Amino acid sequence: MDRTGTAGSVEVLGFPPDARVLIVNADDFGMYGAINTGALQSIEDGIVGSCSLMVPCPGASEAMELLRRKPEIAFGIHLTLVCELTTARWGPMAAAKDSVPSLLDEAGELFGPDRIPELLARARLDDVGREFRAQIDAVVGIGLEPTHLDWHCLADAGRPDVFDLTVALADEYGLAVRAWGDRARTTLRRRGLPVVDHDFVDSFGLDLEGKAARYAALLRHLPVGLTEWAVHPGLDDEQARAIDPGGWPVRHGDHGFLTSPEARAIVAEEGIAVIGYREVQRAWTRARVRPTG
């Protein structure tokens, strides 16, 4: 198992060393209404522990109002430099588009997923920082209290310097950060912070056929230590089918399993501790105030 200082990640989170701990986080909250409803149901009636808000998206205002009414819901900010929907475009949150020129394509729009390598090659760190801060400030500026930062369509921010920038912002705002890869986990582990011990599961990487059975098997064989699932629950409705034709089947399948009696029963039978990012944020806070030297 990966270790965090002298204690394993689950111990840093307050669990015994042989605990099986699973972060289940619903990404893309705020993209559109069917995702907002699906994510909320997956938290309140299912096994999801937290969600990540996409601030620039069409459904973000609704999502933030839901969070205002339900302060018990742990949520992070899904830092967004990519727009994959052609039918519901979103742009940067920075005050003026021309303040983040390196983040925009030749049409003045955010890059799509197929052009992520180009985005990463040209994005200036100061533009990234300006946009990330604008997204965070849009949330904290209305009194909401996020738990963590992660990224839309970019594993570990896509570049080491952008990851390090994000960690610096997290320290400034008192938040945690998601980490997937070896470098990112090593960086955080050196600070005594909890990091996942096992392969990260992104629900868009699972086959649609047999997905519920795959989820059930993953739960029943969950290893000791800290694991994370990035899930994408959403409803199957007219809006979802119209604006997200490639994504809604994934989201509908996630929602079906995550809110199912089977999921809750397996978690109970296996003695799995399912958490969200509020517990992770608390560990980051403890690490920041821990005496050194």
Mean pLDDT for the stretch of residues 132-159: 98
Q: What percent of the chain has pLDDT over 90?
A: 93
Contacts of residue 283, defined as CB under 8 A and 6 or more positions apart, other chains included, come to: 12, 13, 14, 176, 193, 194
Q: Can you state the angle between helices 182-189 and 160-173, rounded to 10 degrees? A: 40
Q: What is the mean pLDDT of the chain?
A: 95
Q: What pLDDT, on the 0 to 100 scale, is given for residue 291?
A: 57
Mean pLDDT for the stretch of residues 265-293: 91
Q: Does residue 290 carry a pLDDT above 90?
A: no
CA distance 83 to 56: 10
- Phi-psi region for residue 61, left (φ > 0), alpha (ψ -120 to 50) or beta? alpha
The b/e string for 89-128 (b: 16+ C-beta within 10 A; e otherwise) is: ebebbbeeeeebeebbeeeeebbbeeeeeebeeebeeebb
Mean pLDDT for the stretch of residues 256-281: 98
Mean pLDDT for the stretch of residues 15-23: 97
Q: What pLDDT, on the 0 to 100 scale, is given for residue 273?
A: 98
**Total domain count for the chain?**
1
Q: Does residue 26 carry a pLDDT above 90?
A: yes
Q: Are strands 20-29 and 148-151 parallel, antiparallel or unpaired?
A: unpaired
The model carries a pTM of: 0.95
For 289, the 3-state DSSP assignment is helix
Q: What pLDDT, on the 0 to 100 scale, is given for residue 219?
A: 98
Tokens of 123: 């994005």
- As a whole number of Å, the CA-based R_g of the chain is 18
Q: Does residue 71 carry a pLDDT above 50?
A: yes
Mean pLDDT for the stretch of residues 143-167: 98
Q: What pLDDT, on the 0 to 100 scale, is given for residue 95?
A: 78
Report the Cα–Cα distance between both ends of the chain, in Å, rounded.
27
Mean pLDDT for the stretch of residues 16-23: 97
Weakest-pLDDT range from 5-9, 133-137, 289-293: 289-293
Mean pLDDT for the stretch of residues 49-66: 98
Q: Does residue 174 carry a pLDDT above 60?
A: yes
Question: What residues make up the domain containing 25?
Answer: 3-289
With cut-offs at 50, 70 and 90, classify the pLDDT of residue 180: very high
Task: Outline where the chain has alpha helix (H).
Answer: 9-12, 33-44, 60-69, 116-122, 125-140, 160-173, 182-189, 211-220, 238-243, 248-258, 261-270, 277-289
With cut-offs at 50, 70 and 90, classify the pLDDT of residue 98: confident
With cut-offs at 50, 70 and 90, classify the pLDDT of residue 6: very low
CB 62 within 8 A of CB 35: no
With cut-offs at 50, 70 and 90, classify the pLDDT of residue 248: very high
Q: Does residue 209 carry a pLDDT above 80?
A: yes
Q: What pLDDT, on the 0 to 100 scale, is given for residue 289?
A: 78
Q: What pLDDT, on the 0 to 100 scale, is given for residue 7?
A: 66
Q: What pLDDT, on the 0 to 100 scale, is given for residue 288?
A: 86
CA distance 81 to 66: 24
Q: What is the DSSP string of 56-102?
A: TSTTHHHHHHHHHH-TTS-EEEEE--B---SSS-----SSSGGGSGG
Q: At 188, which CATH number?
A: 3.20.20.370
Q: Does residue 152 carry a pLDDT above 50?
A: yes
Mean pLDDT for the stretch of residues 116-136: 98
Q: What pLDDT, on the 0 to 100 scale, is given for residue 262?
A: 98
Q: Does residue 42 carry a pLDDT above 50?
A: yes
Q: What pLDDT, on the 0 to 100 scale, is given for residue 282?
A: 97
Q: Does residue 1 carry a pLDDT above 70?
A: no
Q: CA 227: distance to chain centroid?
A: 14
